[in-house]
Structure 1
Amino acid sequence: MTVPKVAFSAFSFLLAVALSVSAAYAQQVPAVVVAPARVVDLRESVDLTGRVVATQKVDIRARVAGFLEAVNFREGQKVTSGTVLYQVEDGAYRAAVQEIEGSIQAAEAQRDLAVLERDRAKQLIATNTISQAKVDTANAEVKKAEAELVRLKGSKQSADLNLSYTKITAPFDGVLGLTTADVGALVGPDTGPLVTLTRLDPIYVEFPVSTSLLLTYRERVQKGMTPGGANVGLTLPNGTEYPLKGTIDFIASNVAQGTDTVTVRAQFDNPNALLLDGTLVRVILEQSEKQDVLAVPQQAVQRDQQGAFVMVVDAASKVELRRIDVARSARGLSVVTEGLKEGENVITEGVGKVRPGITVDAAPATGG
């Protein structure tokens, strides 16, 4: 064997050994994902289930009988208060008003005549030309004529009211449903609902709150542990967050015995009608004031018989087991009250591959 061949063989052997050592070292250094402990605004919150309830909802009905002459809306249309929805034929009702107006004119003439007769009788009684009985009769005729005039004016008010009812109008702003009657249909007070009008803006969300949760909250507010007031958020059935916050405007004064809950209601602006009457939604009650706390990702917190702990990676990439106190967890984060400082990195992925004291290959968490 020549010298060059020996040298080449030795070099190849050393290279193979070096690669083996490097590979073995790489296998001994576990790869983990870390995230820093950071101060965030993590307000206390609770998730509940609620249902959307229209602020106003009425069935529109006919108040007088007659055939429909016009339907002045499209089903599903938004209308304003006072919009004429249906027109009932009004010929008979106009005639009734005119008839009563004629009767009133006749009654006014009769009253004027009675007044003249009374005044004439008063003049004659002064000269003893007629008896007092005739004067009394004249006074009675005036009162009778005035009473008849009052009755007829009341009848006219009733006739005017019936005439106004031939125009069926929207009592408030809202959205119309499906109509149950069309042009030519005979409608009346006994017909039933013609259409439903629903007001969607603003809108309510009602949700039950357990009495224990409500009492705990009130006690914490009284002790100054939690600020009063709450922001109300919603998550829609498709999982998206409703963009506008609501305010609580009603808390029931009674407890539902079957569920031991209290009904709470919040009001929301609903300009785009995203919230529909009857929709089931998730309600998030969140304290109104900012609350800065030290938090780590919830998956970084491990537990054993001694309590909660995290695996901390220091500047030298060495792992340390650190005992911590966790106050609460929310939105995927755990609030740490003791055991960590802001900026310290904790392992969020790969905890099962490490032990205290070893060196790791730490990569920052995405978005962390």
Structure 2
Amino acid sequence: MIRLILLSVTLATGGGGLSAQDAEPRPAVVAVEATTRDLAETSDFNGRLDANRRVALAARVSGVIEKIGFTPGARVTEGQTLFVIESDLYEATAREAEGALRAALAQRDLAQIERDRQAELVAREAGAQARLDQAEAALATAEADVLRLEAALDRARTNLSYTEIKAPFEGRIGNTPVDEGALIGPETGTLATLVQLDPIHAEFPVPTAVLRNFLERVDRGEVSKEAAVSLTLANGTVYDLQGDIDFVDSRVNSRTDSVTLRARFSNPVGLLLDGELVRVTLTSDTPGGELAIPAQAVQRDIQGAFVLVVGEGEVAEQRRITVSRSAEGFAVIAEGLTEGERVITEGVNKVRPGAAVDAAAPGG
């Protein structure tokens, strides 16, 4: 009877030799090989886009708007007429000033003739010096009138030119608070804002230490200010054109110990917008071959950084590592790994060191 009980217990506990670990399915994980990559050293900063040129358009003369020559939000060309103000009164003023100037010119010519005649009489001792003096004074007065009326004509023509408000440069124009038929003047304020978006600048603060390292590498010829900056937009999209650093502020912000840098970006289709908040990535050195793994594989505890490596027999092994820096989504490994070793990047939470895993490559 005792033998039967022992036999039953043996069969129930798997007398065929299968362990509990072998009976359970292995957790599925994704593993990536540590490889040598060309990764530039980068630093990320918050920045804001700033239009290359920006102007608030305003009326310089008063009048009724006869025509608005643009669609809000559209691109306009340099010299394009944006607003037309009624010009009849200003044209009449200009013609009046022109007529007054012509009369003054005639008076000046007459005064010149009289002055020359009196001078000739005095030279022949047939006229009085007093009359010559009077003629010279009259000529001077006539010449002053000509100058005054020339200025009046210039002012009238200038005011007439102000009845057409034109785009000073090519760019994108915003909305306008006025409509055709509205009475406007200098007191009206901004009629529309025109911005030039190509090129566009990104301004961002950089800690002084980072800036010093960057500028020293520029001086040594290790990096260039050209194509040194890239942008990540608010939705995570990376802008496909690189920016050149064209300005380094001469003053340190004492509150943040940072210096403002500005990078210039081509923006041919107007994708980048004035005032947009962006993530700026500054490349501080030229890429070089370094051992790297995806940053998501790195874990940390109170002892430091570690990864789970898929070792011999597909068994997970904890490996302590030293990460020198991070760049482009990868962790650069200084110590702890060799090229070709596989580290677990997905499914880490399902694995413990010493456990067998079912490891697959990304997309496998």
Residues 30, 353 of structure 1: 8 Å contact kept: no
**Corresponding residue SS for 2:93:** helix
Give the Cα–Cα distance (whole angstroms) in 1 for the partners of residues 103 and 305 of structure 2: 97
Is 1:242 the counterpart of 2:239 in the alignment?
A: yes
Structure 1 position 219, deviation (Å): 5.5
| Corresponding residue number in structure 1 for 2:151 | 154
Higher mean C-alpha deviation, range 167-176 or range 309-318 = 309-318
| Corresponding residue number in structure 2 for 1:184 | 181
Q: What residue identity is the alignment partner of 2:359?
A: A
Structure 1 position 204, deviation (Å): 1.7
Give the Cα–Cα distance (whole angstroms) in 1 for the partners of residues 156 and 20 of structure 2: 102
**Corresponding residue SS for 2:282:** strand
Q: Closer, same or farther in 2 for the Cα pair 1:34/1:26, shift >3 Å? A: farther
Work out which of the residue numbers 129, 133, 148 in structure 1 matches 2:130: 133
Q: Closer, same or farther in 2 for the Cα pair 1:146/1:361, shift >3 Å? A: same
**Corresponding residue SS for 2:50:** strand
Give the Cα–Cα distance (whole angstroms) in 1 for the partners of residues 163 and 56 of structure 2: 17
| Corresponding residue number in structure 2 for 1:353 | 352
Is 1:258 the counterpart of 2:255 in the alignment?
A: yes
Q: What residue identity is the alignment partner of 2:325?
A: R
**1:318-329 correspondence runs (5 A):** 324-329=321-326
Residues 41, 286 of structure 2: 8 Å contact kept: no
Give the Cα–Cα distance (whole angstroms) in 1 for the partners of residues 31 and 346 of structure 2: 7
Q: Closer, same or farther in 2 for the Cα pair 1:22/1:322, shift >3 Å? A: closer
Give the Cα–Cα distance (whole angstroms) in 1 for the partners of residues 124 and 21 of structure 2: 144
| Corresponding residue number in structure 1 for 2:211 | 214
| Corresponding residue number in structure 1 for 2:4 | none
Is 1:167 the counterpart of 2:164 in the alignment?
A: yes
| Corresponding residue number in structure 1 for 2:140 | 143
Q: Closer, same or farther in 2 for the Cα pair 1:318/1:114, shift >3 Å? A: same
Give the Cα–Cα distance (whole angstroms) in 2 for the partners of residues 198 and 259 of structure 1: 30
Give the Cα–Cα distance (whole angstroms) in 1 for the partners of residues 221 and 70 of structure 2: 55
Q: Closer, same or farther in 2 for the Cα pair 1:364/1:196, shift >3 Å? A: same
| Corresponding residue number in structure 1 for 2:359 | 363
Work out which of the residue numbers 59, 80, 91 in structure 1 matches 2:77: 80
Q: Closer, same or farther in 2 for the Cα pair 1:250/1:367, shift >3 Å? A: farther
TM-score (norm 2): 0.83
Give the Cα–Cα distance (whole angstroms) in 2 for the partners of residues 185 and 225 of structure 1: 60
Residues 30, 354 of structure 1: 8 Å contact kept: no
Give the Cα–Cα distance (whole angstroms) in 1 for the partners of residues 159 and 300 of structure 2: 76
| Corresponding residue number in structure 1 for 2:96 | 99
**Corresponding residue SS for 2:180:** coil
Q: What residue identity is the alignment partner of 2:35?
A: R
Structure 1: tracts of 5 or more residues without a match? 1-12
| Corresponding residue number in structure 2 for 1:198 | 195
Q: Closer, same or farther in 2 for the Cα pair 1:349/1:241, shift >3 Å? A: closer
Structure 1 position 35, deviation (Å): 2.1
Structure 1 position 260, deviation (Å): 3.2
Structure 1 position 51, deviation (Å): 1.5
Structure 2: tracts of 5 or more residues without a match? 1-10
Is 1:344 the counterpart of 2:335 in the alignment?
A: no
| Corresponding residue number in structure 2 for 1:45 | 42
Q: Closer, same or farther in 2 for the Cα pair 1:250/1:24, shift >3 Å? A: closer
Question: Could you list the per-position Cα deviations for residues 73-115 of structure 1 after superposition, in whole angstroms to 9, with x for gaps in the alignment?
Answer: 2222211121111111111111111111111211121122122
**Corresponding residue SS for 1:353:** coil
**Corresponding residue SS for 1:363:** strand
Q: Closer, same or farther in 2 for the Cα pair 1:69/1:32, shift >3 Å? A: closer
Question: Could you list the per-position Cα deviations for residues 217-270 of structure 1 after superposition, in whole angstroms to 9, with x for gaps in the alignment?
Answer: 445666x69635362111111122122221222222223333333222222222
Give the Cα–Cα distance (whole angstroms) in 2 for the partners of residues 156 and 142 of structure 1: 21
Structure 1 position 325, deviation (Å): 3.5
CA RMSD of aligned residues (A): 3.1
| Corresponding residue number in structure 2 for 1:120 | 117
| Corresponding residue number in structure 2 for 1:227 | 223
% identical aligned pairs = 49
Work out which of the residue numbers 109, 115, 130 in structure 1 matches 2:106: 109
TM-score (norm 1): 0.82
Give the Cα–Cα distance (whole angstroms) in 1 for the partners of residues 193 and 264 of structure 2: 22
Question: Could you list the per-position Cα deviations for residues 277-317 of structure 1 after superposition, in whole angstroms to 9, with x for gaps in the alignment?
Answer: 22222112123622221112334445677655555556765
**Corresponding residue SS for 1:179:** coil
Q: What residue identity is the alignment partner of 1:54?
A: A
